[in-house]
């Protein structure tokens, strides 16, 4: 599967400052936001997006115009991130057509034990209900570690099941065009210390060979039995579990 991670790409003090900014911004936002590739950042989050893209991806991506970004703060055991693929929501609603970003990313800002789950089931066309393979043949379980930076194919269906703690993550997608509904967040905040990015080795999912646990669930209103790692896993683990 086209998923990999970098461990702790910036220093702990920068991560702590960025986490504080994310928690503040989360109270001010009611929608996903946009930052163009050549825009001047208004806050530390936009600065991080532009800098991390430039450091990690600028020499690998062509035709990029900007970034859609959002925050997830999951605080209660009955909260979850519904399974979905990243897409142009405005186009889906207005034209009944699916289009996808070039790349998806997630920055973990705490060490909550509840994993982000990626199925190898993908949206494969402009039609929302066309997904394959189904049922999935593999699933990647990404466990948080503060500063872990996850990179993924945004057409993979992914989500977060209800957990027991608080999980804070910052996400951004890389787009080759600007979806019509996205605007700058319009919140100016002090720019924190400009981070020095660390060149880290790419870590790909490791095949999981341990004991598994099964869960019956629905994905796009279709039932599956999902197999995942049994018990508590090490922080930052990235497991590929055969289904």
Convert the pLDDT of each residue in 101-160 to its tens digit: 999 999 999 888 889 999 999 988 888 888 999 999 999 999 999 999 999 999 999 998
Beta-strand runs (E) in 75-211: 81-84, 103-108, 116-123, 131-132, 138-142, 149-152, 156-160, 167-175, 206-207
Helix (H) or strand (E) holding 228: strand 222-229
Domain count, the chain: 1
Asked whether the beta carbons of 33 and 69 are under 8 A apart, the reply is yes
**Model pTM above 0.85:** yes
Positive or negative, the CA dihedral 147, 153, 155, 160 is negative
Cα 71-180-58 angle, rounded to 5 deg:
65
What does the buried/exposed string (b/e) look like for 65-85 if buried means 16 or more CB atoms within 10 Å of the residue's CB?
A: ebbbbebbebeeeeeebebeb
Confidence (pLDDT) at 189 = 87
Confidence (pLDDT) at 182 = 96
For the domain that residue 15 is a member of, what is the CATH number?
Answer: 2.60.120.620
Q: Which domain holds residue 112?
A: 3-242
CA atoms of 2 and 120, how far apart (whole Å):
9
CA atoms of 95 and 22, how far apart (whole Å):
32
Confidence (pLDDT) at 167 = 87
Asked whether the beta carbons of 56 and 6 are under 8 A apart, the reply is yes
* pLDDT above 60 (res 78): no
């Amino acid at each position: 599967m086209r998923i990999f991670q970098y461990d702790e790409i910036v220093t702990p003090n920068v991560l702590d400052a960025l986490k504080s900014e994310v928690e503040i911004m989360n109270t001010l936002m009611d929608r996903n936001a946009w930052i163009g590739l050549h825009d001047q950042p208004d806050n530390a989050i936009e600065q991080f997006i532009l800098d991390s893209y430039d450091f990690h991806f600028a020499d690998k991506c062509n035709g990029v115009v900007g970034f859609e970004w959002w925050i997830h703060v999951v605080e209660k055991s009955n909260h979850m991130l519904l399974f979905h693929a990243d897409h142009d929501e405005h186009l889906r609603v207005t034209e009944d057509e699916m289009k996808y970003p070039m790349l998806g990313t997630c920055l973990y800002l705490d060490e909550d034990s509840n994993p982000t789950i990626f199925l190898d089931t993908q949206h494969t066309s402009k039609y929302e209900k066309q997904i394959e393979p189904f049922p999935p043949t593999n699933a990647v379980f990404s466990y948080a570690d503060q500063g872990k930076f996850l990179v993924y194919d945004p057409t993979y269906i992914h989500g977060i099941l209800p957990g027991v703690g608080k999980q804070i993550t910052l996400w951004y997608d890389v787009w080759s065009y600007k979806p019509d509904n996205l605007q700058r967040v319009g919140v100016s905040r002090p720019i924190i210390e400009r981070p020095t990015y660390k060149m880290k080795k790419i870590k790909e999912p490791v095949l999981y060979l341990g004991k598994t646990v099964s869960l019956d669930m629905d994905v796009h209103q279709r039932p599956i039995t999902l197999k995942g790692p049994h018990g508590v896993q090490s922080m930052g683990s990235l497991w590929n579990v055969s289904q």
